[in-house]
């Protein structure tokens, strides 16, 4: 039965030469489709990476802009509350300079005077620096595949694809 | 399939192959041809750029956290020459908004683009409000589209605004002698800005920024320069400057200096010196401070202190047991030391005096006698321990050391012992003098005078501990001399007194040396004092140069001390002695 089927198939090709052409075209078409698929995946990943890269650039510029705005606001606030301006405003509101003769001192048990400027925590363990943009955001598909092939132990699926690295230690409260 | 069809297919196939060969040929030509290097270079130019990231300069705060020096955004205005379409309009707009020279801007905007010239800087450090005006105009013209006819400005395309930070001093000239200034060429000058320039400026880094989004890297985390918290109290500083300016004017003085120091830890709470500049406009420095005038008299100018120096002589004599407060001295009005005749300030004889009387009446003859009793070696050893003749090491730029001639120096004579004992023939800076006096107010210990209270770097605040730099006298001597000076001020009914507060201090009137000898009618008047006497929390130094209202320190400088202390005790929350002592009892 098997031999009969084989013979029938072998006879079919010489009888219909277009079958050979269809086979060649079919194989070529499959190749084209696979290539197109790969190209489109590559293109999609590249476009996504490019978009993220552009967004990153924009965010970086925005950070710089915000830092400059913060600096401006700090200086403006300090200027508006400068000693000279505060004194002028106080005088306009009818206040006058206090002298030692105007004061009456009262002992207040347990009162603690306001402390001096503490603008940051004291010396302690260093805060681990961490990368702001994870490598996943500027990796191409091939970069990612290469990394996974070179370090197969990291091949743990897509769940941690975009996980941000964590700081090694937390700052002291 | 017939022959005709085969011929057609073959032709089409050959055409495709020929086209592919042409593409390959063109690719090869571009890749390896003579222009390949040029194209590669162009590609490199546009693939990214080197960016020097300058960390923001660290802030400077007063001890309570008030900002004394910060940063603000300014803009560099430039031209992307390839984009410029209306050079006349750009020149007109910049002339109108910024007052820039029309012809200069037009010449810059009208340049041809070459490989070397693509961008021109027109001006820098432009305030953001001006840039907002220009930017709004540029956007309006862009939104209109085309080039409007009959308008002086048709387009501002090509005009670029590049923001960057510059130094800003929100308190203007307040504390400017202490802070110094940061110039636009990136250097710190004078005061803290110069002394801590490296710390404040951080480490700039050059990084490659790719224009290719696939190559985008996160900007490296470049920490800003360290922030500094000074020991200065803004309110005290403002008060000192106000009192100084008023007293210089009232007394017709040439200049003045006032310093307030905490003797327990050496912190400078305020340092006012004249003249002052607004560091936001530091380029006017030459107009206000000319010739050899120092930027900060407090650390950079020496003078002969006169009678305030007697406190050190007397402290040394008490500590070395040469005299005690009740030691008697008969003042005949003159004494000879090393062949030189020394007279009292009024050239009179004051008869029998104890050491309190000598200090109260500021008797040169008595102090010269005390110094001779002590001996040159002991006297100069003590002066050296007080820091006279040495820099204090205060953390402000430009400190000078003054001069104390000692036995063995080629220009030292035996007569110098007598004159040095009352502050003549010796030069000190104000900060040296107050530092030496602080030993008398702090149980005999001299703490290093300093201006930096804390340093904030990488998000951490570091508080350098106070440094003890010497103990020239014992605590008992310090108490004794303080008590002597309290009594002498009170018995004299000095103008330095403040009701309710026990204060110790001494006036000084110093003739000014000239190449032809001492000038009797032009003096330096000073006062150094501290309080409350039983638990000193401040030392105040006053120096008014060449006052015209009077030549005497007791008339010129003592009232200024009183005024400063009256306002200082309010700012420092120091109640009158009776209340303070009552409150301290359990």
What are the pLDDT digits (tens) for A75-127? 999 999 999 999 999 999 999 988 888 888 887 877 777 777 777 887 766 55
Nearest chain B residue to A85 by CA: give it.
B171
Residue of higher predicted confidence among B216 and B39: B39
Whether the predicted pLDDT of A135 surpasses 80? no
Within 10 angstroms of residue B194's Cβ, the number of other Cβ atoms is 19
Whether the predicted pLDDT of B377 surpasses 50? yes
Taking the CA of residue B423 and the nearest CA in chain A, the distance in Å comes to 34
Any A CB within 8 A of B238 CB:
yes
Q: Is B170 within 8 Å of A79 when comparing Cβ atoms?
A: yes
Q: Is A105 within 8 Å of B576 when comparing Cβ atoms?
A: yes
- Per the CB < 8 A criterion, the answer to whether B327 and B356 are in contact is no
> To probe the interface with A, which of B218, B237, B267, B269 has the most A CB atoms within 10 Å?
B218
Q: pLDDT tens across B174-193, in order?
A: 999 999 999 998 899 999 99
Taking the CA of residue B72 and the nearest CA in chain A, the distance in Å comes to 5
pLDDT band at B309 (very low <50, low <70, confident <90, very high): very high
Tokens encoding A65: 């802009």
Q: Is B79 helix (H, G, I), strand (E, B) or coil?
A: strand
Q: What percent of chain B has pLDDT over 70?
A: 98
Whether the predicted pLDDT of A169 surpasses 60? no
Tokens encoding B82: 């390839």
CA distances from residue B562 to B372, B432, B495, B528, B565 in whole angstroms, order as listed: 34, 22, 7, 11, 5
Tell me what the mean pLDDT of segment B523-550 comes to.
96
Task: Work out the mean pLDDT of chain A and round it to a whole number.
Answer: 78
pLDDT band at B5 (very low <50, low <70, confident <90, very high): confident
Taking the CA of residue B70 and the nearest CA in chain A, the distance in Å comes to 6
Of B243, B242, B274, the C-alpha closest to B176 is B274
> To probe the interface with A, which of B212, B455, B460, B576 has the most A CB atoms within 10 Å?
B460
Least confident of B69-78, B208-217, B261-270: B208-217
pLDDT of residue A167: 44
Of B265, B227, B235, the C-alpha closest to B175 is B235
CA distances from residue B84 to B87, B155, B269 in whole angstroms, order as listed: 7, 8, 55
ipTM: 0.81
Within 10 angstroms of residue B31's Cβ, the number of other Cβ atoms is 10
Of B553, B526, B523, the C-alpha closest to B542 is B526
Of A68, A122, A133, the CB nearest to B460: A122
pLDDT band at B210 (very low <50, low <70, confident <90, very high): confident
- Using a 10 angstrom Cβ sphere, with 0-12 exposed, 13-18 middle and 19 or more buried, the burial of residue B410 is exposed
pLDDT band at A160 (very low <50, low <70, confident <90, very high): very low
Partners of A52 on chain B (C-beta within 8 Å) are 213
Segment (H or E) for B480: helix B475-491
Whether the predicted pLDDT of A14 surpasses 60? yes
Query: Has this prediction a pTM greater than 0.90?
Result: no
Q: Is the peptide bond before B532 cis (omega within 30 degrees of 0)?
A: yes
User: In B47-133, where do the E strands start and end?
Assistant: 48-53, 60-61, 67-80, 119-127
CA distances from residue A129 to B160, B219, B222, B226 in whole angstroms, order as listed: 35, 13, 11, 18
Tell me what the mean pLDDT of segment B472-483 comes to.
97
- Going by their DSSP bridges, the two strands B267-273 and B255-262 should be labelled as antiparallel
Q: Is A127 helix (H, G, I), strand (E, B) or coil?
A: coil
Q: pLDDT tens across B393-431, in order?
A: 999 999 999 999 999 999 999 999 999 999 999 999 999
- What B488-492 contacts at long range (C-beta under 8 Å, 24+ apart), as own/partner pairs, is B488/B356, B488/B357, B488/B359, B488/B360, B489/B360, B489/B529, B491/B356, B491/B360, B492/B360, B492/B361, B492/B554
Task: Work out the mean pLDDT of chain B and round it to a whole number.
Answer: 91
């Amino acid at each position: 039965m098997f031999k009969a089927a084989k013979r029938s198939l072998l006879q079919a090709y010489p009888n219909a030469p277009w079958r050979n052409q269809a086979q060649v075209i079919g194989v070529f078409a499959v190749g084209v489709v696979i290539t197109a698929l790969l190209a489109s995946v590559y293109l999609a990943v590249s476009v996504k990476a490019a978009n993220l890269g552009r967004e990153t650039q924009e965010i970086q510029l925005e950070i710089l802009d915000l830092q400059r705005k913060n600096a401006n606001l700090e200086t403006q606030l300090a200027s508006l509350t400068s000693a000279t301006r505060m004194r002028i405003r106080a005088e306009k509101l009818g206040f006058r300079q206090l002298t030692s003769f105007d004061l009456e001192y009262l002992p207040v048990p347990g009162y603690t005077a306001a402390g001096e400027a503490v603008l940051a925590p004291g010396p302690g363990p260093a805060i681990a620096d961490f990368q702001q943009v994870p490598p996943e955001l500027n990796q191409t598909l091939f970069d990612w595949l290469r990394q996974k092939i070179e370090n197969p132990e990291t091949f743990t699926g897509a769940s941690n694809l975009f996980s941000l690295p964590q700081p090694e230690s937390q700052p002291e409260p | 399939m017939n022959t005709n069809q085969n011929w057609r297919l073959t032709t089409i196939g050959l055409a495709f192959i020929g086209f592919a060969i042409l593409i390959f040929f063109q690719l090869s030509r571009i890749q390896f041809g003579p222009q390949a290097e040029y194209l590669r270079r162009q590609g490199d130019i546009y693939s990214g750029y080197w960016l020097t990231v300058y960390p923001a300069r660290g802030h400077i705060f007063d001890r309570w956290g008030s900002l004394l020096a910060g940063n603000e955004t300014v803009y560099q205005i430039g031209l992307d020459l390839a984009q410029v379409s209306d050079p006349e309009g750009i020149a007109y707009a910049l002339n109108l908004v910024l007052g820039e020279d029309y012809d200069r801007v037009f010449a810059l905007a009208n340049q041809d683009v070459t490989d070397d010239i693509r961008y021109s800087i027109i001006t820098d450090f432009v305030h953001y409000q001006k840039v907002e005006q220009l930017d709004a105009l540029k956007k309006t013209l862009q939104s209109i589209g085309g080039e409007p006819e009959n308008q002086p400005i048709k387009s501002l395309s090509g005009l670029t605004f590049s923001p960057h930070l510059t130094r800003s001093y929100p308190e203007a000239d307040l504390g400017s002698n202490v802070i110094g200034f940061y110039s636009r060429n990136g250097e710190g000058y004078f005061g803290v800005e110069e002394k801590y320039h490296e710390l404040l400026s951080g480490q700039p880094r050059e990084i490659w920024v790719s224009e290719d989004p696939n190559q985008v890297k996160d900007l490296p985390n470049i920490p800003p320069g360290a922030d500094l918290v000074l020991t200065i109290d803004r309110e005290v500083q403002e008060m000192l400057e106000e009192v100084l300016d008023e007293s210089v004017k009232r007394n017709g003085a040439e200049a003045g200096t006032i310093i307030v120091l905490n003797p327990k830890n050496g912190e400078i709470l305020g340092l006012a010196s004249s003249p002052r500049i607004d560091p936001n406009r530091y380029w006017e420095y030459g107009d206000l401070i000319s010739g050899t005038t120092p930027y900060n008299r407090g650390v950079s100018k020496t003078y002969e202190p006169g009678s305030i120096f007697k406190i050190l002589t007397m402290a040394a004599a008490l500590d070395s047991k040469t005299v005690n407060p009740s030691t008697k001295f008969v003042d005949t009005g003159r004494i000879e030391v090393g062949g030189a005749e020394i007279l009292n300030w009024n050239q009179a004889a004051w008869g029998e005096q104890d050491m309190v009387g000598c200090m109260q009446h500021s008797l040169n003859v008595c102090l010269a006698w005390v110094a001779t009793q002590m001996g040159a070696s002991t006297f100069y050893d003590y002066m050296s321990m007080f820091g006279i003749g040495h820099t204090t090491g205060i953390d402000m730029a430009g400190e000078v050391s003054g001069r104390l001639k000692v036995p063995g120096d080629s220009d030292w004579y035996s007569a110098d012992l007598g004159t040095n004992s009352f502050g003549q023939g010796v030069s000190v800076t104000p900060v040296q003098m107050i530092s030496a006096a602080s030993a008398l107010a702090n149980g005999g210990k001299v703490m290093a005078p300093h201006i930096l209270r804390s340093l904030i770097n990488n998000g951490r605040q570091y508080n350098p501990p106070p440094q003890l730099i010497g103990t020239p006298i014992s605590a008992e001597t310090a108490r004794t001399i303080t008590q002597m000076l309290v009594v002498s001020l009170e018995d004299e009914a000095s103008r330095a007194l403040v009701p309710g507060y026990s204060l110790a201090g001494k006036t000084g009137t110093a003739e000014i040396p000239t190449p032809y000898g001492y000038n009797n009618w032009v003096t330096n008047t000073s006062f150094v004092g501290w309080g409350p006497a039983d638990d000193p929390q401040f030392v105040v130094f006053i120096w008014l140069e060449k006052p015209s209202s009077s030549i005497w320190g007791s008339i010129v400088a003592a009232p200024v001390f009183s005024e400063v202390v009256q306002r200082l005790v309010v700012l420092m929350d120091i109640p009158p002695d009776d209340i303070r002592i009552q409150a301290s009892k359990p």
